[in-house]
Chains A and B, each alone.
Chain A
Amino acid sequence: MRDTKGFKAYRAVVLTVLGLFVLVPLYVMVTSSLKPLSDVQGAFTWWPSHITLDPFVDMWKTVPLARYFVNSTIVSVVATVCSVAIAILAAFAVSRFRFRGRSVFTTTVLSTQMFPGVLFLLPLFLIFVNINNSIGVQLVGTRLGLIITYLTFSLPFSIWMLAGYFDSIPRELDEAALVDGCGPMGALARVVLPAARPGVIAVAIYSFMTAWGEVLFASVMTTESNRTLSVGLRQYSTQTNVYWNQIMAAALVVSIPVVIGFLLAQRHFVAGVTAGAVK
């Protein structure tokens, strides 16, 4: 329809400019990770003086990257699973029931999205300390503390997104399930969830990315034993050197799982993100 000459020219310009904007940093990241240390310390070159895989080998030794990887994986996966499960329940309640306090809940939860992290960083830390002192659950410096924190970060957005998704599923389907002898939970499990599958996937991706990339709380709440990748990568600049090639190699490796996961499921993400808005 709009395959006019003008539009084609416009498209070519836009794709070239944006393509370069996106690609150049990615290119630098990949080529730098294949450079010997002397290359990245000197003036920039577009191509390594010789290609080496050493940064990918050395990066595990310079910094205990494997441990940070395990920490980030456990924290992000568990936070995602919990967050999605909790968001599904809450969104189901919001979408399918009329009850007192419903609008208070939705407004409050959404407005927490607005809280600047620095406002509740130290208070949350103090609360965790008090929980530890009173009931003995160690939350500071453990993965558990990070999991609980991160899962709430994506919760407001997840609830909102899923509730929008659930709203778009006809209620007649629930009723059919009820007639079949299911309870409300059965209707959720048998009817609503399967229909909302793309939304659930989108929410899961969002939660995972939030946890995997979080920096502020990780900078205060982690110790050596539960340090995540987001703060661990800083340790490549040591007392003796800044290992840029290893930083790039490590950045590449920690990015790959998320990027692939996101790109595979991007279709669902598109549908999920806009579920609340496009109707």
Chain B
Amino acid sequence: MRLRSFVAAAAVTALGLSLAACGGSDSGDSSGGGSGGDQTLTYWASNQGTSLDNDKEVLTPVLQKFTADTGIKVNLEVIGWNDLQTRIQTATTSGQGPDVLNIGNTWAASLQATGAFLPFDNDAMTAIGGKDKFVPTALATGGKEGEDPTSVPLYGLAYGLYYNKAMFAAAGLQPPKTWEEMVTAAQKLTDPAKKTWGMALAAGSYTENVHFAFINGAQNGADWFDKDGKPTFTSDGNVQGVLRYLDLMQKDKVANPSNAQYDNGTKSVNDFATKKVAMVINQNNADSSIVANGMKAGEYGVVPFPAPQGSPNQTASHVAGINLSVFKNTKHKDAALKFVKYMTDATTQTTLGKPFSSLPVLKDAKPVFTTDAAEAATFQDVYNTKSKPLPLVPAEDQFESTVGKAMNGLFAKIATGGKVSADDVKAALQTAQDQVAAGS
């Protein structure tokens, strides 16, 4: 009797294994066709739309057109942000990656250091249409200065200060031009008793926090790494910049302490869209979320994220966005470059600009992500003239995680009733700096 169940078990096992093998065959094996017409590229796209499915819907016709033009098939996988970094890591480690993939552009220098990605040398650059077509600051994010970049810009993003027009009008306020005006306006619009706040911050998200550490530091004229790539986290400008941002919750009290739990930008944008807060600082892809949560275009305006009055530097954003990379060990280098060229040409940029709420990375292109001309102009101006790339050093990823998490901790301390002084900020940044130094 018992043996029967063994045999049954074995049968089930065999069935399962064959199913498993089926599962494996569609998991992005890039060694498809050899020559000519039936090449297949594997492409990992990042999540830009409202869901992974939405991305797939948007990209599929675009990829089909590419296949029709060139005969090269594209095998698409959309990967959420929670998984993208791990997936890139495992692909780098194993050498089993896609042919082409999206990366967060801030990772570019770190990923370049792995040596797993194809440098865009002169030939490759020519093959994708020449480097002159890109906005120069956008292209600068492609890798370490002075080396051939290992990624090129695909979708441009920039921070802006979103404000609720009706709330501002009701309080007789003008959109802020300086940090001080922003704080004053926010204080006027804050009424904890009515559960309304001047601003929402993604204060529990280390990736958001680190961007503001960077931007506020830059407004003070400070850098996070010196010319030799050594961290300079504890310089006065950085400490004061971080403290200024923390003070929105601590001293100015214009943000709900609950924001310390907001572990992604979505939550603060939702508060803005549902009119619980008057302002939010976010990248321009917030547009799709804002609209999805019930606010109409025209109900909000956007101005550059302001620097303090008399600040030496008017940086309003880092050069945010998504870059496109090619894996060095691709078997289809020419096809991959053709694909990069296609994704970064003017037509495709226009097609994708709207659904993904992205800024064009091409010099002469017009933004199409919004019908609000003033908003479009503001973001394009920030992106092209008021933004600075995050540090282009291999340790950039460590900078993000250590400084970002240090800020998470400081916000948590403020939210739970603690006091954070400049010395506390300095000590936290010193720890972050030591971690980066020990890791390199």
Q: Which residues of A contact B (CB under 8 A)?
A: 41, 61-64, 71, 74-75, 77-78, 81-82, 84-85, 122, 125-126, 129, 132, 138, 140-144, 147, 188-190, 193-194, 219-220, 223-226, 231, 234-235, 237-242
Nearest chain A CB to B106 CB, angstrom units: 17
**Which B-chain residue is minimally distant from A78 (CB atoms)?**
B16
Contact B47 A224 (CB under 8 A): no
24 contacting pairs across A/B (C-beta < 8 A): A41-B270, A74-B16, A85-B6, A85-B10, A129-B96, A141-B27, A142-B23, A143-B19, A143-B23, A147-B20, A189-B3, A189-B6, A190-B2, A220-B90, A223-B77, A223-B87, A224-B79, A225-B26, A239-B48, A239-B51, A239-B289, A240-B266, A240-B292, A241-B293
Minimum-distance CB pairs A-B, first 6:
A78-B16, A142-B24, A143-B20, A129-B94, A144-B20, A189-B2
- What chain B residues lie within 8 Å of A220 (beta carbons)? 86, 90
**0 or 1 for each of B289-300: is its CB under 8 Å from A? (1 = yes):** 100110000000
**Which A-chain residue is minimally distant from B4 (CB atoms)?**
A189
- What chain B residues lie within 8 Å of A190 (beta carbons)? 1-2
**Which A-chain residue is minimally distant from B47 (CB atoms)?**
A239
- What chain B residues lie within 8 Å of A238 (beta carbons)? 47, 50-52, 80, 266
**0 or 1 for each of B311-351: is its CB under 8 Å from A? (1 = yes):** 00000000000000000000000000000000000000000
- What chain B residues lie within 8 Å of A126 (beta carbons)? 93-94
Contact B94 A140 (CB under 8 A): yes
- What chain B residues lie within 8 Å of A71 (beta carbons)? 23
Contact A240 B77 (CB under 8 A): no
Contact A125 B17 (CB under 8 A): no
- What chain B residues lie within 8 Å of A143 (beta carbons)? 16, 19-20, 23-24
Nearest chain A CB to B290 CB, angstrom units: 9
- What chain B residues lie within 8 Å of A240 (beta carbons)? 50-51, 266, 288-289, 292-293
- What chain A residues lie within 8 Å of B50 (beta carbons)? 238-240
Nearest chain A CB to B85 CB, angstrom units: 11
A62-B51, A234-B82, A238-B52 known; 15 new pairs, CB 8 Å cut-off, are A74-B23, A85-B9, A125-B94, A129-B94, A129-B95, A188-B2, A189-B6, A190-B1, A219-B83, A225-B26, A225-B27, A238-B47, A238-B50, A239-B48, A240-B288
Q: Which residues of B contact A (CB under 8 A)?
A: 1-3, 6, 9-10, 12-13, 16-17, 19-21, 23-24, 26-29, 47-53, 77-83, 86-87, 90, 93-96, 264, 266-267, 270, 274, 285, 288-289, 292-293
Nearest chain A CB to B9 CB, angstrom units: 5
Considering the chains assembled together, what is the distance between the CA atoms of A61 and B78 in angstroms? 15
Nearest chain A CB to B264 CB, angstrom units: 7
- What chain A residues lie within 8 Å of B9 (beta carbons)? 81, 84-85
Q: Which listed residue (A132, A234, A239) contacts B49, Cβ 8 A?
A: A239
**Which A-chain residue is minimally distant from B77 (CB atoms)?**
A224
Given contacts A85-B6, A238-B50, A239-B289, contact A142 B27 (CB under 8 A): yes
Considering the chains assembled together, what is the distance between the CA atoms of A64 and B12 in angstroms? 25
Contact B96 A132 (CB under 8 A): yes
- What chain B residues lie within 8 Å of A231 (beta carbons)? 83
- What chain A residues lie within 8 Å of B78 (beta carbons)? 224
The secondary-structure label for the interface of chain A is helix
Q: Which listed residue (B1, B10, B83, B93) contacts A125, Cβ 8 A?
A: B93
Most buried by B among A62, A75, A223, A241: A223
Considering the chains assembled together, what is the distance between the CA atoms of A221 and B82 in angstroms? 14
**Which A-chain residue is minimally distant from B289 (CB atoms)?**
A240
Considering the chains assembled together, what is the distance between the CA atoms of A239 and B28 in angstroms? 25
- What chain B residues lie within 8 Å of A63 (beta carbons)? 52
- What chain A residues lie within 8 Å of B49 (beta carbons)? 239
Contact A241 B292 (CB under 8 A): yes
- What chain A residues lie within 8 Å of B292 (beta carbons)? 240-241
Considering the chains assembled together, what is the distance between the CA atoms of A239 and B286 in angstroms? 9
Considering the chains assembled together, what is the distance between the CA atoms of A142 and B94 in angstroms? 14
- What chain B residues lie within 8 Å of A74 (beta carbons)? 16, 19-20, 23
Considering the chains assembled together, what is the distance between the CA atoms of A74 and B274 in angstroms? 42
Considering the chains assembled together, what is the distance between the CA atoms of A226 and B20 in angstroms? 9
- What chain A residues lie within 8 Å of B79 (beta carbons)? 224
Considering the chains assembled together, what is the distance between the CA atoms of A107 and B274 in angstroms? 60
Considering the chains assembled together, what is the distance between the CA atoms of A224 and B51 in angstroms? 14
**Which B-chain residue is minimally distant from A147 (CB atoms)?**
B20
Considering the chains assembled together, what is the distance between the CA atoms of A75 and B267 in angstroms? 35
Considering the chains assembled together, what is the distance between the CA atoms of A92 and B144 in angstroms? 61
Q: Which listed residue (B1, B29, B53, B267) contacts A242, Cβ 8 A?
A: B267
Considering the chains assembled together, what is the distance between the CA atoms of A258 and B270 in angstroms? 35
- What chain A residues lie within 8 Å of B267 (beta carbons)? 242
- What chain A residues lie within 8 Å of B51 (beta carbons)? 62, 238-240
Nearest chain A CB to B154 CB, angstrom units: 17
**Which A-chain residue is minimally distant from B89 (CB atoms)?**
A220
- What chain B residues lie within 8 Å of A189 (beta carbons)? 1-3, 6
Nearest chain A CB to B4 CB, angstrom units: 9
- What chain B residues lie within 8 Å of A242 (beta carbons)? 266-267
Q: Which listed residue (B80, B82, B270) contacts A241, Cβ 8 A?
A: B270
- What chain B residues lie within 8 Å of A129 (beta carbons)? 93-96
Contact A125 B90 (CB under 8 A): yes
Contact A144 B288 (CB under 8 A): no
**Which B-chain residue is minimally distant from A138 (CB atoms)?**
B24
Nearest chain A CB to B197 CB, angstrom units: 16
Nearest chain B CB to A69 CB, angstrom units: 14
Considering the chains assembled together, what is the distance between the CA atoms of A235 and B1 in angstroms? 45
- What chain B residues lie within 8 Å of A188 (beta carbons)? 2
- What chain A residues lie within 8 Å of B29 (beta carbons)? 138
**Which A-chain residue is minimally distant from B81 (CB atoms)?**
A239
Nearest chain B CB to A79 CB, angstrom units: 9
